Every structure is written in structure tokens, then in C-alpha cells.
Amino acid sequence: MKDLEVVFDPLPPEQLRQFITYRLGMFNVARTGFDEWHPIGFFLKNGQGEWLGGLLGDTWGGWMNVRFVWLAEVVRGQRYGTRLMEAAEAYAASRGCFAATLDTHSYEALGFYQKRGYEVFGQLEDCPPGHTKYYLRKRLAQS
């Protein structure tokens, strides 16, 4: 194939994002035989309809992968992060997952995850400069 164009688009249409995600998923299934992928989304919403937090991730190959966790400042320290993590872990275990993985930075929530039983298995220094990115994992209780 010749004359392929590389196109920069930092905010691609959702349809294109889904296409790439699907194609990578099909490649992974073909190579591993694991074909059960499920998205995870748990969110916090107040009585006025405001979104105050959420957790996004997925399950595949017996693992839960937590991609994003965010809480508004006004709800931090009130166990809502714990509730989101417990809900996601219970969902993942119900799907047959035996473990979970996530990453966080030194300025984010390392201690929070360690209190929840996650252990550091790798780290990347100066990511960004002056900070560390941590990679964590945890065995899940089977339901």
C-alpha cells in the first residue's frame, strides 16, 4: 500500500474511536482466544443531577483494568472513591475476573489504592519530570 496519509486528530469522532477499539479487541481475541470484553462505568451523581465522580475501565482475560477514577473535590475523603472501587471490583469478580490493574501518579492517589490492597509492581520515574507513575495490581475476591 502506498500513499497512505497520517492524519492528526486529537479529538476523533466517537465512531472512529470505537472502530479502532473494536479492531484492536478483535486482534487480541484472535491471538489469545479470550473473547469476553466488558466495559465498566460507575458514576456519582447528586440530587441536582450534577456528576461528581466516576470510574471507567473494562474487563478482559480475567483482569479488570481501571483506566480512570475521578472525584470532585467536595466529595473526596467521604468514602465515595471506596464505593466506586468496591462496585467495580464486585462487577469484575462477577464476570470471572481474578485480578485488577491500574496506574496512578505520585501526586494522585497511590496511598488510596494501597489501602484497598493494591500493590506496586512497577514504576516509571520522571513521568512527568519530578514525579513517578506507579503500576499496581490486586487479587480480587471471587464471588
Hey, how many other C-beta atoms are within 10 angstroms of the C-beta on 86?
Answer: 13
Residue 97 lies in a domain: yes
Residue 32 lies in a domain: no
Cell matching residue 107: 501526586
Q: How many domains does the chain contain in total? A: 1
Nearest by Cα to 71 from 54, 59, 83, 46: 54
Q: For residues 60 and 36, is the Cβ–Cβ distance under 8 A?
A: yes
Q: Could you list the residue range(s) of the whole structural domain that residue 98 is in?
A: 37-139
Q: For residues 122 and 96, is the Cβ–Cβ distance under 8 A?
A: no
Q: Above 70 in pLDDT, residue 59? A: yes
The pLDDT confidence band at residue 7, using thresholds 50, 70 and 90, is: very high
Q: Above 90 in pLDDT, residue 141? A: no
Residue 78 lies in a domain: yes
Residue 98 lies in a domain: yes
Residue 1 lies in a domain: no
State the Cα–Cα distance between residues 55 and 44, nearest whole angstrom: 9
Residue 57 lies in a domain: yes
Nearest by Cα to 63 from 32, 38, 30: 38
Pairing relation of β-strands 119-125 and 99-105? unpaired
19-43 per-position pLDDT tens digit: 998 899 899 999 999 998 899 999 9
Residue 96 lies in a domain: yes
75-133 per-position pLDDT tens digit: 999 999 999 999 999 999 999 999 999 999 999 999 999 999 999 999 999 999 999 99
Any idea what the CATH number is for the domain that residue 53 is in?
3.40.630.30
Residue 91 lies in a domain: yes
Q: For residues 55 and 40, is the Cβ–Cβ distance under 8 A?
A: yes
Strand partners, 135: 103, 122
**Residue 143 has what pLDDT?**
59
Cell matching residue 129: 519530570
